[in-house]
Amino acid sequence: IENSFDIVSLLMMQNGSPMNCGDNFCVGGKLESEEESSPGMDAIVFYTDFANPAKQVYSWNEDMSSSINAFAEGKVAFFLGYSYHKEQIEALNPSLNFFITKAPQIDGSTKDVNYADYWVEVVSKKSNYKNEAWDFINFISKDENLIKYLNSVEKPTPKRSLIQTQYENYDLQPYLDQLLSSKNWYKGKDFEKAKDILNDTITQVLNSDNLDEDIKEIENNTNSRLDLTW
């Protein structure tokens, strides 16, 4: 599944998992009792149910093509992705007729929770052109310069100040509507390792023969392993 880490993180946050408890990772947050189910683990179980043959919602397995290919081939109804996936889908199937909408939210939720994916520009201290690099970052960060670039590539703004300016573009509205409610949670030093750990958790939940007994141990193991990457 493309963006599996992001999708599971989104489900966990929408279901009430704080993700971070102080300086530590926490799937469940503060529970009233040890027996109470964890909102984070409940979200992971919900996610894995779609790959569990014993569940009514079973619809996915490892023999199927990647989620983005399946969508481009018209084999699935929707694909959870980001603005940069639009070009990839169009390249895979130029004749595919699809539209973009906001990420689903939990029914009855009082506020939207969305997940952010972004890149941060930095300048290497070893560069021979540090001043020039910082000059360019400062230049492109100014609203009047950034909006020209964004309009030319039809990408949503990362800046609050340009949301209203871009809102005239109908195709960008779903992204813009989610900007102020989008966030992510990982603040550690090894993001790739964190993704591997969460994927391991998904596999453990899916492969468990007695999930009711195993789920607390899986949760504690996930918390401990992710803490080591902080």
In the 8-state DSSP scheme, what is residue 111? S
What are 146-187's pLDDT values in tens digits? 999 999 999 999 999 999 999 999 999 999 999 999 999 998
Band of residue 22 on the pLDDT scale cut at 50, 70, 90 = confident
**Mean pLDDT of the region 216-222:** 93
pLDDT of the residue at 36: 62
Nearest CA-CA partner of 112 in 13, 6, 9: 13
Band of residue 28 on the pLDDT scale cut at 50, 70, 90 = low
What are 121-137's pLDDT values in tens digits? 899 999 999 999 999 99
Positive or negative torsion for Cα 125, 130, 131, 135: negative
C-beta pairs of 58-67 under 8 Å, 24+ apart in sequence = 60/1, 66/1, 66/2, 67/1, 67/2
Q: In sequence order, which ranges of the chain are alpha helices (DSSP H)? A: 4-14, 39-49, 67-72, 85-92, 130-141, 143-153, 163-166, 173-178, 191-207, 211-227
pLDDT of the residue at 9: 96
What are 57-112's pLDDT values in tens digits? 999 998 999 999 999 999 999 999 999 999 999 999 999 999 999 999 999 889 99
What are the residues whose beta carbons fall under 8 Å from the beta carbon of 209, sequence distance 6 or more?
Answer: none
In the 8-state DSSP scheme, what is residue 59? -
> What does the alpha-carbon distance between residue 166 and residue 188 come to, in Å, rounded to a whole number?
33
CA 71 from chain center: how many Å?
A: 18
**Mean pLDDT of the region 189-197:** 95
What are the residues whose beta carbons fall under 8 Å from the beta carbon of 20, sequence distance 6 or more?
Answer: 26, 185, 187
Q: Can you state the percent helix, strand and coil of the chain, rounding each to 5?
A: 50, 5, 45
| Helices 191-207/4-14 angle, 10° precision | 70
> What does the alpha-carbon distance between residue 229 and residue 211 come to, in Å, rounded to a whole number?
26
**Beta pairing partners, 25:** 20
Which domains are delineated in the chain?
A: 4-113+188-227 (3.40.190.10), 130-181 (no CATH)
Structure tokens at 154: 């039809």
Parallel, antiparallel or unpaired: strands 182-183 and 24-26:
unpaired
